[in-house]
Amino acid sequence: MSHEHLTPSTAPALSLLSNRWFSAATLLVAGALQTLTFSPFHFWWLGPISAFLILLACIPLPAKQLFFAGLLVGLGLFGSGATWVYISISEFGNTSIPVSVLLTAAFVAVLALFPGIAFWFWGKLAKVSAIRRLILFPAIWILGDWLRGWLLTGFPWLYLGTAHTDGPLAGLAPIIGVHGLTFLITASGAAIFAAGWLLTRQRHTSAGIVAVVTLIPWLTAPSLNRVDWTDISTEPTSVAAMQGNIPQLIKWDPEFLKDQIVAYLGMTEPYWDTDLILWPETAIPIPQDQAGKIIDHIEGNLGDNSTLITGIPWYGFSERADGFTYHNSIMAMGNGEGIYHKQKLVPFGEYVPLEGVLRGLIGFFDLPMSSFTRGPKNQSPLNANGTKVMPFICYEVAYPDFLARNAVNSDLLLTISNDGWFGDSVGPLQHLQIARMRALETGRYMIRGTNNGVTAIIDHKGQITARIPQFERAVLTGEVFKASGSTPYMVAASWPVLTLALILIVFVRERVIPKN
């Protein structure tokens, strides 16, 4: 492959892409195809195809157009895979349909800026060299994902590697994590492009070498599924997780408070002697300083070796807020102890950026319990009858490095959520798949308790061992097993793949930009 900038005249296979409207449509479709790799579709094999289509459209483009190319990819991806946010804005945010559509479109557009910026940087690094663009593509993609995962709280959602909870690369997740899987997927798309190009030049041997090298991780990774990176106990812990299916519109209504508590107590009645009982996020919808009678009742009914863990707002003094404040929290009671305050808050759902300006403008900026304060770092696991349980609340489970770091000193992972905000959309199903990837990366069982689904038990291979349907009031029962030790990913997190991306950028970028 030459180092010159590819154009349709030098690449006959790209002739269709000379039409800018066809090229734009290709980029939008390529982004949307990535949504189909995730739950509930699970077409993981579309990942490399999407990357290939992106390259097919982008390789011939002048560098200055790559920002808009990345923007189109982002609009395709987030416009198809993240518009479930409309439900929380419109149905539960008391916001008119036109304003809800406008806010959802703005949300998608902001997210699309991240691949746009990444592709702009890609053009700066490889203005005219096609081979450099191919080599740098996985590195640029990873850095764009990483930036999106932390800037302005971050949106670590729809990472391509997440699709491989049920794909052939799953065995590599405990080693290289979700970003490493994404790197392999995008590199495979680049390899498909390179092999096709080499075949058009009658360089069959070179194309064969590229194909073989590309297939190695795909063919070897399944055998790694049999490797246990952590030591799994043979002694089971019994679990009962309550899915109350409380309608979102009444959850914070004081008139229905008693009904909610009675519902959860009634569901728990046959399970007081279970080792670990789980109620979902804010199952007790009043702060702990007002819930003394409820807590006393629970502790009075629990078996001698039983622990109940529940989501509950917490009100008290916080050094971070320099005074008394609210936290979105989870606490253990009975034969257990500890409280955890959520660290990764959801913008507008749990806190309002520019609160002094936005409060009161529309209903969405005044959602119930949207004044939480972020919890401190390095919080200890909960203790459940001697088992170290590391909890994560809702959105926190989406942060791969954050979870891996906090899971190090734990025996078991637990996440609670209230996905009722997103109705009957793909959002809750994507959320479940993300939790599965975290269990796979850390080699630990995870219990997932939700208000209306999906409540599930996930094993150390990221597979669901028990679940109950969405939108039903039901109790999930099953067993989990403690884990000890760390996976390679827990030790190094995403730094190896990020370092590789930076190395590629330093050594492959164009140092001297040729004149046109």
Which residues form the catalytic set? 281, 342, 394
- Nearest-angstrom CA–CA distance, 62 and 509: 16
By C-alpha distance, which of 64, 139, 60 is closest to 507? 139
Q: Reduce the DSSP state of residue 391 to 3 states and report it.
A: strand
Give the span between the Cα atoms of 399 and 434, in whole angstroms. 9
Nearest to 280, CA basis, from 463, 452, 398: 452
3-state secondary structure 394-414: HHHHHCHHHHHHHCCCCCEEE
Cα Rg of the chain, angstroms: 24
Strands 412-417 and 446-450: parallel
Inter-residue contact 477 to 240 (CB < 8 Å): yes
Residue with tokens 């039903």: 472
Query: Rounded to an integer, what distance in angstroms lies between the CA atom of residue 222 and that of residue 244?
Result: 38
Task: Quote the strand ranges of 178-258, DSSP E.
Answer: 231-243
| Beta-sheet pairing, 412-417 with 387-393 | parallel
Per-residue CA distances from 120 to 70, 164, 424 (Å): 8, 28, 36
Q: 328 forms bridges with which residues in the sheet? A: 313
Q: Alpha helices of 312-399 — where are they, by DSSP H?
A: 355-358
Residue 123: in which H helix or E strand, if any? helix 97-125
Nearest to 371 by CA among 351, 343, 349, 395: 351
Using CA atoms, how far residue 268 sits from 50, 85, 236, 300, 467, in Å, is 47, 32, 20, 13, 17
How many angstroms separate the CA atoms of 39 and 100, rounded? Answer: 25
Beta bridge partners, 307, equal 276, 334
CB of 171 closer than 8 Å to CB of 181: no
- The first and second tokens of residue 336, run together, are 């257990």
Asked if residues 426 and 289 have their Cβ atoms less than 8 Å apart, the reply is no
**CA–CA separation, 350 and 368 (whole Å):** 8
Backbone angles phi, psi at 162, to 5 degrees: -60, -30
SS3 71: helix
Question: What are the phi and psi torsion angles at 396 (to 5°)?
Answer: -60, -30
Cβ neighbors of 197 (< 8 A, separation 6 or more) are 1, 11, 13
